[in-house]
Amino acid sequence: MYSKYEHHNYKNSKLPFFFHLDKQSNKSLHFARHWHEHIELLYVENGKCIVQGNSEEVTADAGELIMISPNCIHYIYTKDEECRYYCITVDKSFCDNSGIPVFSGQFVINIHDKKTKDCYKDIIEIMESKPFCYEEEAKALVLQLMIRCYRSAQNGYIISDNKFVASQMIVKAIDYIYAHFNEPITVDELCRYLGFSKYYVCRKFKSQTGKTIIEYVNHLRCMNAKRLIESGDYNITESARMSGFNNMSYFTKAYNKYIGCLPSKNNI
């Protein structure tokens, strides 16, 4: 599982947020670890939702609310047969323009305040029934929801400067890897770029992404090679070299490890 930046494009100016109902099961593949610059709020409809963020795990049962801060590397899963949860992802610029502060630390927490959860349920009802002028009402409710969530977070969560520094470092590292994965990348080179010791970078990277730096780079390269092979525009050798592999034997072993089959299986 690798981490990636998730880009959100809010096309509707009247609705500066995404709203949708998601479903997970214990048979589902975990979502890729990802992060984005926007606040994310989950309301569990049924089952038990588990969010793993920055090496911490938060669970929520039906009727409970989880807040995921901006830039927090996280993924969502469940151990139940089925878990359904609503997701609201609020555009950062909406928060900025509304004067709502965005915390510098990255965290995942439960929000227990009843009025906050009731506000979320009002948004669900509005978004599903879509009455006259529902966009304006939903926008006002989301603003209220954001204020309540940040109050709860401010009162119930102490942000660690060390966690913030580590999280920002990992985000910067992943950005660099995505920009240069098809080029030669060494761990020493990445650590020099980040300005931290090799021991610190490697330890924090593994704890927050679940992979070593080399594993992460190779997984990303294999995913890109798979995409190129399946496009039909490039052969296996071309796809490997365009993804940063110069040794075909090494590429084949890595591909089989991370994709689960030989490259030739995706070339049929």
Q: Where are the beta strands (DSSP E) in the chain?
A: 3-5, 17-24, 33-35, 39-46, 49-53, 56-60, 65-68, 74-77, 83-90, 108-111
CATH level 3 topology of 3-156: Jelly Rolls (2.60.120)
Confirm whether 3-156 and 161-267 share one CATH topology.
Answer: no
Please name the amino acid found at residue 99. Answer: G
Tens-place pLDDT, residues 20-47? 999 988 876 555 677 788 889 999 999 9
In the three-class reduction of DSSP (H, G, I as helix; E, B as strand; rest coil), residue 84 is classed as strand
In the three-class reduction of DSSP (H, G, I as helix; E, B as strand; rest coil), residue 24 is classed as strand
Mean pLDDT by 10 residues, the chain (268 residues): 61 84 79 78 96 82 93 86 94 81 72 94 96 94 91 62 67 86 92 90 85 91 90 91 94 92 76
Report the percent of the chain where pLDDT is more than 90. 45
Q: What's the CA gap between 256 and 71, in Å, rounded? A: 32
CATH code: domain 161-267 is 1.10.10.60
* Exposure b/e, 89-110, CB count within 10 A at least 16 = b: bbbbebbeeeebeebebbbbbe
Tens-place pLDDT, residues 66-87? 999 887 888 898 989 999 999 9
Task: Return the domain boundaries, the chain.
Answer: 3-156, 161-267
The tokens 């660099």 sit on which residue? 176
Please list, in sequence order, all residues whose beta carbon lies within 8 angstroms of the beta carbon of residue 90, skipping any fewer than 6 positions away.
Answer: 16, 17, 38, 39, 40, 41, 142, 146
pLDDT of residue 7: 63
pLDDT of residue 11: 66
In the three-class reduction of DSSP (H, G, I as helix; E, B as strand; rest coil), residue 202 is classed as helix
pLDDT of residue 267: 59
